[in-house]
Chains A and B, each alone.
Chain A
Amino acid sequence: MPRRLLRDAKIVVDEWRYVTEAATDSAAPLIVTLAQWQLEPDTWLARGTPLGVVLSPAQHVEQLAPDLEHFALVAAEFSGPSEGRGYTQGRQLREHWHFAGELRATGYVRRDQLFFMARCGFNSFELSDTDIADAYTAFSTFTAAYQPANDLGLVHKLRTRVSAAGAPIAGTLT
């Protein structure tokens, strides 16, 4: 059963495979865990396909940062409904390490979290089949925001960046 996901606000069939799924499909782009990567990076590179990596909640972005150039995808794992470290990991990857590839939310991902995830730089979301159909509506939950983040054009107006005269100043997204 192919996995569907929401990527750049469109429902698509996932072309990526996790290591556990890859046995039958050696040509597919592959997602490894950070531990698997660190153990034998050359083996994975020798595969010749695009590579992705899973970052667990307790792992620090700094552990991944030196090798970031090898990855076209980073999947931050959300282990449950109250897990929140991935939001910071996402922003750090985008804003501090300038990661420009696919940033994916995996694990416990529900439509009601998508707006915040997207503002933290995530652009793809592994959702359940029951949640995925209407999930895109979450991106328009709010049309403005009070704080700068990593919006990728999601939020049209940043409230705090308006000066006394009401004129937009540096940092405004329009």
Chain B
Amino acid sequence: MLRGYWRDCGRAKYRARMYRYDVTDKTLVRQRVAQFRDQTQRFLKGALSEDEFKHLRLRNGLYIQRHAPMLRIAIPYGLLSTTQLRTLARIARDYDRGYGHFTTRQNIQFNWPKLEQVPDILAELAEVEMHAIQTSGNCIRNTTSDHLAGITPDELEDPRPWCEIIRQWSTFHPEFSYLPRKFKIAVTGAPQDRAASLVHDIGVHIVRDDSGELGFEILAGGGLGRTPIIGQVVRKFLPREHLLSYLEAILRVYNLEGRRDNLTKARIKILVRSLGIEEFTRRVEAEWDSLRDGGLRVDAAQIERMRSFFNPPAYLALSNTSPEAGRETAFRAWYRYNTTAHKVPGYRAVYVSLKKPGVAPGDATDVQMDLIADLADRFSFGEVRVTHTQNLLLADVEQGRTYELWQSLERAGLATPNIGTLTDIICCPGLDFCSLANAGSIDVARLINERFDDYDYIYDLGEIDIKMSGCMNACGHHHVGNIGILGVDKGGEEWYQITIGGAAGADASLGSVIGPSVPKAQVAETIEHLLEVYVEERAPEERFLDTVRRLGIKPFKERAYAAPIAA
């Protein structure tokens, strides 16, 4: 049974500070449900062929996967109200097998829905201002952002109002719904890049020009997949009112010039690389000339209206404290690793780790989702965020209440103190679920967790990330992992290629392959060898990434392959 969103909001103590649908937004999402219901019925009646329906369902996040359809639901820039999270929990319970998978693009996927029930799921989502629009297919996908937006001390400006402006512009865009390939945009507002914007088709960075005016630096042509490339600057400074017309110009050049003859060469990164950034930029600027003064100009009133949705909550006047003082070791470790600085004194942002050993990274059960929603209502103004590292975040927790929150999370298996460490693994669903995958991912994550279960050792290693993909499509971002793992199919067996030295932040770099791939049973051991070299060679306070950058891959490679690799 549907529960009224507004009634729920009234019952909740807080109204989440996020974009709220007006009558037009609601109408559009409901019309989309009706459209998709009609398309599904035509398919089930045989009026649409398998192939014709594929092109339609893919625009609505619906894949046909190994076991069943997979439905990907958009979580715009990772922001959820507790009412929305409870709806996701209910969908997991009623239509799936009691869990969902949070992705690197801040979305959630369900792996077991029935095709004929998908229109009903979408109808339930529409009631809480959610949808699956453009979560797959060759169109502009969910815009992603910094999960610490609005609360991080080093931010120039909250990027989320701009994300919403982009979300609306890109939704049902009539010209860009049949692009050569998928298209991903990330927006950040802080010098530290927590959205992997350099490996997006377009990266939008909020920056200041010499006169102190806020605007955007625009990058294009980044991407992972078969041909990983770091994005390049198209424009150093774009005045804010021109954001949409400039994006439209880039998309128009891409729509006309991007390759359509070869799927693996169809992303914008290939176009930018083949034209060169200067020629690409020249074409974009020429197109922009004819668009810049048209109807896409974003005026001050629009910016203000959008900002008003993201106003800060009613923070209390508090001072910073040391809640870990005198508490047990487990809490101190959790506080150190799973909480992070907040710009308001007395508050802390708290990660909810979805990386418990033995559980598929990014998975949460319906019971956990309901609990997290309750905790967000009690501790964090009724809002939950999804991080691109596949964890959740409660953004606004009073420092003095973190101990109480920790106790609840700990009981639910959501307080594994490993954020930013070796076992905070980014991982795609892999061969277990995905029909594209060559090899399993979840299993490898489990094996790594089994080998590295000593937290003293993990903490001693410090900041390090492992990213794993089950195939070249790189959903697990393996190219930009400090340690990257790529599943490959070798004569019907699952083998793994390992890279080191990748990074996804403002200093993004692509990892280098250390050598021949290794069988599943030797992945964790190989990683152990790499870490031995790091521990022996590191300078004081030096991160794994920096040691690799300083020494190159040679010593790591030598150690990894000192003993023969055998299946």
Contact = CB atoms under 8 A, between A and B. Distances in A.
Given A60-B256, A160-B169, A148 B305 contact: no
A87 B301 contact: no
Interface in A124-174: 141-149, 157, 159-161, 163-165, 169-171
A85 B174 contact: no
Contacts of B35: 141
A84 B138 contact: yes
Interface residues of B, number: 41
Interface string B142-183: 000000000000000000000001001101111111111000
Given A84-B179, A84-B255, A88-B255, A160 B302 contact: yes
Contacts of A117: 174
A85 B172 contact: no
Interface stretch (A13-21, A45-53, A108-116): A108-116
B252 interface: yes
Given A116-B174, A145-B172, A164 B39 contact: no
A75 interface: no
Contacts, number: 101
A3 interface: no
Interface stretch (B23-31, B62-70, B186-194, B358-366): B23-31
A32 interface: no
A29 to B, nearest CB: 28
Given A82-B55, A141-B35, A146-B169, A88 B175 contact: yes
A15 B176 CA distance: 32
A88 B250 CA distance: 12
A164 B172 contact: no
A163 B304 CA distance: 9
Interface string A49-82: 0000000010010000000000000000000011
Interface residues of A, number: 38
A163 B255 contact: no
A120 interface: yes
A82 B169 CA distance: 21
B305 A164 contact: yes
Contacts of B296: 147-148
Determine which residue in B51, B256, B305 has the highest number of CB atoms from chain A within 10 A of its CB, and name it: B256
Nearest to B248: A147
Interface in B250-276: 252, 255-256, 260
A104 interface: no
A81 B51 contact: yes
B56 interface: yes
A165 B304 CA distance: 10
B305 A161 contact: no
Contacts of A113: 178
A62 B301 CA distance: 37
Contacts of B295: 148, 161, 170-171
A172 to B, nearest CB: 9
A84 B177 contact: yes
Contacts of B244: 147
A24 to B, nearest CB: 34
A164 B168 contact: no
Contacts of B168: 146-147, 159-160
B180 to A, nearest CB: 7
Contacts of B56: 112
A84 B178 contact: yes
A169 B178 contact: no
A157 B24 contact: yes
B25 to A, nearest CB: 7
A35 to B, nearest CB: 19
Contacts of A8: none
B24 A144 contact: yes
A87 B31 contact: no
Interface string B519-563: 000000000000000000000000000000000000000000000
B303 to A, nearest CB: 9
B192 to A, nearest CB: 30
Contact of B177 (A116, A143, A171): A116
A87 B260 CA distance: 15
Given A110-B52, A164-B304, A149 B260 contact: no
Nearest to A115: B174
Nearest to A148: B295
B105 to A, nearest CB: 20
A142 B173 contact: no
B169 A87 contact: no
B301 A165 contact: yes
Nearest to B306: A164
Interface in B408-430: none
A86 B417 CA distance: 52
A141 B302 contact: no
Given A81-B51, A160-B302, A165-B301, A147 B290 contact: no
B172 A146 contact: yes
A160 B302 CA distance: 8
Determine which residue in B24, B165, B252 has the highest number of CB atoms from chain A within 10 A of its CB, and name it: B24
A84 B55 contact: no
Contact of A163 (B51, B52, B301, B308): B301
B294 interface: yes
Contacts of B308: 164
A148 B177 contact: no
A82 B138 contact: yes
B174 A120 contact: yes
Contacts of B55: 81-82
B454 interface: no
Interface string B269-303: 00000000000000000000010001110010110
Nearest to A57: B260
Contact of B173 (A143, A147, A163, A165): A147
A159 B179 CA distance: 23
A143 B30 CA distance: 11
B174 A163 contact: no
A54 to B, nearest CB: 17
A2 B51 CA distance: 28
Determine which residue in B28, B35, B179 has the highest number of CB atoms from chain A within 10 A of its CB, and name it: B28
12 contacts: A82-B138, A84-B179, A84-B255, A91-B175, A110-B52, A116-B177, A146-B172, A160-B165, A160-B169, A160-B302, A163-B299, A164-B308
The 8 closest A-B pairs by CB, nearest first: A84-B178, A148-B295, A119-B174, A171-B295, A164-B305, A116-B174, A163-B301, A164-B301
Given A144-B24, A146-B168, A163-B299, 10 more contacts: A60-B256, A83-B178, A84-B178, A88-B175, A88-B252, A112-B39, A120-B174, A142-B28, A142-B31, A159-B24
